[in-house]
Structure formats: structure tokens, C-alpha cells
Amino acid sequence: MSEAGRAPSGTSSGRGHATSPRVELASTGALRQTMDAYYRSLGDAAERGAAPVAWCSSAGPVELLRAFGFAVHFPENHAAMLGASRTANRYLPLAHAQGYSPDVCSYLASDIGANLAGESPLSAFGLHGVPQPDVLVFNTNQCRDVRDWFEWYGRKWSVPVIGISSPRAVDEVTDADVEGVARQIESLVRPLEDVAATRLDGSRLAAAMSASRDGSRLWAACLETAAQRPAPFTFFDGTIHMGPAVVLRGTPEAAAYYAILFAELEQRVQQGVAAVPGERLRLYWDGMPIWGRLRALATTFADFKTTVVASTYCNSWIYAELDPADSFRSMARASLELFIARSEQPKERYIERMVAFYGADGVVFHDCRTCSSNSNARYGMPQRLAERAGIPTLVLDGDVNDLRCFSDDQSRTNIEGFVEQLTDARAAGRERSRR
């Protein structure tokens, strides 16, 4: 996620259709306070020994870590901060010189490169760099890169790296799949007890599960307000406000923040406040954000009075079905049902449902150069959606962090052409309905 409180602009860039200034979300102030408190707590743990430190992949079993009292750092969050601040390209060559291919995840490469350079955006919160872990915990449900990434740090600091080797490209999630992953999660308990020097407390685990579920349901409710017309919230807003859903999952602070945000979004719905003033078209975004160009892309779509209402990405931190009474199995099921872990057919059905729910006029696929796991335009999905479901699609080339893979001019031209195509199709449909 990008830096807390740095919201994309909705004002006109002076090109295309002018837009009136958007009304910024007042909740951004509470978001900044929430995220600041998280980072400062992480600093207390890392630099003053207030708690043991665990690193966790973003879709990993963080509830288990909360139950042990770990302060939790998420390297993907750190990498997204590097992307959003447009510093990632300074660090990528340092990781490539260590033998990491330019084709591997630019999150991984920029994060490792920043560590080699001895630099981190966390310095703004009083940390001297990323917090040195006592243990690193991964789940490969999202990709193999997280394991390779964590193992680099494990070798550097001689600390244990443990995790879950999860099935990928899953069709229907079976009981056998769930049992297999649940056993792996349970197997993490003993090594975590050794690191934390305490036994697992079932009541603390249940509390973390409940907090995750409550925060997830409120985050889902916030995202779903964008189904209203005009949408009070966009994908670009979501990439900013998803921060607590990622780094504070399993804590009461996440739910507390989303209660504030949801109340403001509900008020916007009642008052008809549009995230994109003059909204004419609505699109769905599939794939990773292009962190270093969020503001530019938000402005481009707003110039054409087009709202990117929702995304598969922001929805990836909804764990609404977690069950405190069946912690290991429900964690396992949630990790397997994650969009990124599924095969093409479930993904297509999901996107069709989301297009219908949000009333989207089309789908924008981001083909992320270094993230094949979260790029869904490579095996014919856009064409199948267009042919079978009549959903117009646009593919944008780019990358999550490596801005050498993205062209502002080409993307703007492609977006403008897509908007014109959708506008013409809408006009033609209205003309046919009059006949």
C-alpha cells in the first residue's frame, strides 16, 4: 500500500475533459494517525525490545503471530512504500547485482536493494531501517517469491524462516486442500513458541481471529459503497485506505478505523458526493497497482469522468469468514479461497460477478511485468470475458514498482481510446433502444 494519507488527486491535469476539484476524504487524518501508531509501535519492538518481531507475507497467518504477541512487519508494505515514493528504481540494480533477475518480483528486488543501500522510508517514523526479525513467516498462496525473499533475510540475519507451501491455481477448494494447509499452519505453533518463549494461548488466537473478521467485514462494506452511483470511493482511494487491512489485520485498530471510514462513505452516498465529479463511466481494475503512477492514473481517469470503482487487489484483504471457533481450518480456507490462488475459471467467474455488482462498463487489466502471479491478461482471460460475457477490456502494460516498464503517454492514449470506445457503444445502444 502507498504512504498513509497521500491521496491521489482528482483535479484536472489540464488535458482532456476538465473536472472540478474532488472532495477529499476527511478520514485520511484518522488513517494517518492509525498508520503512524503502527509504525511507531513497530519501532518500539525493533529498537527498544518491547516485543519480539515477526515478518509476515501479506496473505500469511498473521492471526497466529498476533496471538503470540509478535510485532509484525510486512515486507510487501515496505516495498509498496518504495514504489509509491518512486525510489524503487534506485534500488533494483543492487538486488540484480546479487543475482536476482530483472524479471523477478520488483517488490522483492527493490526491498532487498533498499536494505543493501541501508535506506528505508520507515526512517520517517523514527526507525533506523526495517526491523530485524526474530522469525520470518510466509505463505506461498500468493507466489513463490515471498519465500525466496524471506530466505534472503533469513540468511543475512541467521534467523528461522518458516511457512506454508500452499496449492496454487486452485479450482474448487476441497476439504482435503483445507486439511493440508491447516496442518501446516498448526505445525508453525511449536517453532513460534520457541521463538516467542511462550505457549500459544487459545483465547488470544480467538481474539485475533475475531478482530480480523470484524475489520474485514467493515473493509468490505467500505469497498462496496462504490456500487452506488455516483461512487463515493475509487480503486485509487482503496490503495491508500487499505493500509490497516494489511498491516493491522488481527487487531481492533483496523476495525476502529474502518468504522470511521464507512460512516463517512455512507454520508457521501446519502449526499450524492462523487469520488469523480461528473462520473460518466465505471471501470473495474484487475491486477497490482502501479504504485509510482497512482496519482497520474487517478487524474487521467478523472479527466475522462471515469471512475475505477473497484479491484481484485483491494478485495484481497477480506477475510470475512474467519471463525474463532475453528481457527486453523478457517485460516486455511481463507488462504486457499484468495483470488490470487485460484485457477482461471474461478477468477473469471469472480470478475464477472464484480462487474455486475459494481455496474462496471469494462475491465482494465494491468499486465505487471514482474508479477506473473497477479497478472491475469496472459492466458486469454480478457478475450474470453469479451467473447462470452460481452465485457469490454483494456490491457495496460506496467509494473508494480519498476517504472521503466510503464509509459505515461502510451497509457493515456490507450485509456482515452478505451473510454471513447465505451462512450460510442453506449450511444449506439441508446440509439437502438429508441428504434
Q: What is the pLDDT along the chain (435 residues), one digit of tens a residue?
A: 333 333 333 333 333 344 457 789 999 999 999 999 999 999 999 989 999 999 999 999 999 999 999 999 999 999 999 999 999 999 999 999 999 999 999 999 999 999 999 999 999 999 999 999 999 999 999 999 999 999 999 999 999 999 999 999 999 999 999 999 999 999 999 999 999 999 999 999 999 999 999 999 999 999 999 999 999 999 999 999 999 999 999 999 999 999 999 999 999 999 999 999 999 999 999 999 999 999 999 999 999 999 999 999 999 999 989 999 999 999 999 999 999 999 999 999 999 999 999 999 999 999 999 999 999 999 999 999 999 999 999 999 999 999 999 999 999 999 999 999 999 998 887 767 776
Cross-sheet strand order for the sheet of 306-311: 306-311, 281-286, 362-368, 393-398
| Residue 202 neighbours by CB under 8 Å, 6+ apart | none
pTM for the model: 0.93
> How many Å apart are CA 217 and CA 292, to the nearest integer?
29
Q: Which helix (H) or strand (E) holds 431?
A: helix 408-434
363, three cell numbers: 475491465
Per-residue buried b or exposed e for 32-47, using 16+ beta carbons within 10 Å of the residue's own CB: eebbeebbebbbbbbe
Instruction: Quickly count: other Cβ atoms within 10 Å of residue 325's Cβ.
Output: 8
Could you identify the residue written with the cell 462470452? 388
Q: Are 366 and 336 in contact (CB under 8 A)?
A: no
SS (H, E, C) 136-163: EEEECCCCCHHHHHHHHHHHHHCCCEEE
Q: Closest Cα to residue 350, out of 376, 325, 330?
A: 376
